[in-house]
Structure formats: structure tokens, C-alpha cells
Amino acid sequence: MTLATLLSRLDAKAHAAADWGAVAAYIPQLACVNPAQFAISVALADGSLVSAGQAKTRFSIQSVSKVFTLACVLSRIGESIWARVGREPSGDRFDSILLLEQEQGRPRNPFINAGALVTTDELLAGRAPREALSEVLEFLRVASGDDDIHIDSAVAASEQATGYRNIALANYLKSYDNLINEPDLVLGTYFHQCAIEMTTEQLALAGRGIAGLPGAPLLLSARKRRRLAALMMTCGHYDGSGDFAFRTGLPGKSGVGGGILVAVPGVASVAVWSPGLNAWGNSKVGTEAIETLAHKTGWSVFG
Ligand code: DON
């Protein structure tokens, strides 16, 4: 079966789903998205891009942006970030405050909300707020080879108006001296990063560097992309990271907009989108599609 046929079948299977999961209701602007949507795109090592479903529909990348914020921090600032944020799975919800008190304000990893507030703060240090935001957008544009990537300001405003948990996390981090900037500035920048909208085509292309595909713009050293992928594998799906690794054998990063970016090192960069979420806040049908894709292709980092 060709990859195009396989992806079309995944699209058909998605549309036959009895349960699409539930959209993220805590962000009003995401609560009104129709859950019954699906797209998948695969960028391959030979430079081709194969898609099925609504691969040209833009969606809110939300926490998938955390990979690119960290990539920017690692590229420009380097390893000093690890003094401020850990590299262990948290085993808790993405927006949990629980471990922050136990661990004196040092978030477990850069992919939970508290950890991403710290990486965003690092990106902001010593620069104008717009520069930090532009850096992540510019990274995505160069990585995907597509300038048509923007922020949905309605989604950013919607989250800013209701982001009480993130506001609590930022203030808590500040109380432990683990924010350099004022919480409001970090939160505003973070909400805007989360509100970047992309298609699965753009996201699959943007992930080529992390997957180490030949021909991808050289934005990350081999060591950095391997480390990003290792963190995606261990922490990319929050308290559902073990389940995602078990089911797919691949590193992935999810967002509450229903997107997932998956790296198949040296082989492919995959982006899937379906807005309905499972109990962990990860795309339900998207996860199922990646599981089938991995099974049918034999793609796995475990050989
Ligand atoms: O901060 C938040 O809650 C959202 N902007 C992003 C959370 C998210 O995407 C978690 N993903 N599964």
C-alpha cells in the first residue's frame, strides 16, 4: 500500500469514529471548534510531502509551540536553561501546580505549562517582548519554508481572559525567583506562542529539522535535535506520555488544539490534527491515527 493510500484510509477511519473526544472547553475560542475534523501530513526524507484530510486547514498549535520555544532557547542561549527547568516526566496534568511547591519552583520539564513559562521567560530576557515572539514565529517560518504562519489574536485574547491557572503558575514561579520578567509579560508572550495557527502541511515541514531529515533548514545541531526528540518521547504527552510511547514507539508533542507533531528520526516528520481530546488533553483520533501509521509502516525508534 502506498503512503498516500494509507493516509487516505486513516482519514476515512477517523471519519468513521464513534467518539471524536471533547474539544478543550477551558479556552472559549477553542470550545467552539467542531471536533469532527481530521488532517495528517507526512514529510519524507526524499523531500516529498503526502497528506490526507483537511491538511490546508489552520488550527491552533497550542503546546506544540513548546518544542519550538525550547528549540529557540537551546539555539540562542544554550544549556544554561537546565538550571531553571528539569528533564523528567511529571506524571501530572499539563497545568498542574502540585510539584512546583515540592520542588521549589523548578518545573519538571519544558513541555508542561510551568516549564514553558520558564523557557518563554528565558527567551524574553534582555529583549523587547515582540522580539521574543517573532523569534518563535520566524523559527517556524524558516523551518517550514513558509512565511504564511501567523498568530490567531482571538485565541490569544480568549486564553488571556480566562488563563487563571497559567496566571497562578507564573506568579508561583516568580515567588520562587524562577521568572526574570514580570508574570504579565511572560504570560502575554506565552499565550501568543500558543495561539500560533498552522496547517498539518506546515507543521510537518517545520518538524523536518527535529526529525533530522536531509534538506531541512539547518537550525539545530544533531545533538540538540536528538535531545528535543528525547524530551518529546518522555514528556511530550504529559501524564499520557508513557501511553503514547507504548502505543506508537515514536517521540511526539501534543497541543490542546488537537495537533500532534511526531518525529521519525531520519525517516519522516508527521503532523496530525483532530481537535477532540482524550482524558490527558491529547488528540484522541490523532493519537489513534499515529498508532495505526506506526503499526502499518513499522516506524519506531525501537527498531
Ligand atoms: O496554556 C495552556 O493551557 C494552553 N495554551 C496550552 C496547553 C496545551 O496545549 C496542553 N496540551 N495538550
Instruction: Say how many residues make up the chain.
Output: 303
Instruction: Please check whether residues 246 and 175 belong to one and the same domain.
Output: no
Query: Ligand 1: distance of its center to the CA of 254 in Å?
Result: 9
Average pLDDT over residues 105-125: 97
- 0.95 cut: is pTM over it? yes
Residue 13 and residue 80 in one domain: no
Residue 128 has pLDDT above 90, yes or no: no
- 168, 194, 220: which is the final residue of a domain? 194
pLDDT of res. 129: 85
Q: Give the pLDDT score at 126.
A: 86
Clarify whether residues 94 and 177 are in a common domain: yes
Whole domain around residue 249: which residue ranges? 3-59+199-297
Is position 256 annotated as part of the catalytic site?
A: yes
pLDDT in tens, 188-247: 999 999 999 999 999 999 999 999 999 999 999 999 999 999 999 999 999 999 999 999
The last residue of one of the domains, among 173, 194, 215, is 194
Q: Of 73, 118, 172, 190, which is the active-site residue?
A: 190
Catalytic residue among 41, 63, 65, 90: 63
Per-residue pLDDT at 228: 98
Cell, residue 138: 520566524
- Ligand 1 centroid distance, CA of 176 (Å): 22
Residue 18 has pLDDT above 90, yes or no: no
- Structure confidence at residue 17 as a pLDDT band (50, 70, 90): confident
Q: Are residues 150 and 185 in the same domain?
A: yes
- pLDDT digits over 149-173, tens only? 999 999 999 999 999 999 999 999 9
Residue 162: CB atoms within 10 Å: 14
Atom of ligand 1 nearest to the CA of 26: 3
Residue 303 inside a domain? The answer is: no
Query: What does the buried/exposed string (b/e) look like for 226-244 if buried means 16 or more CB atoms within 10 Å of the residue's CB?
Result: bbbbebbbbbbbbbbbeeb
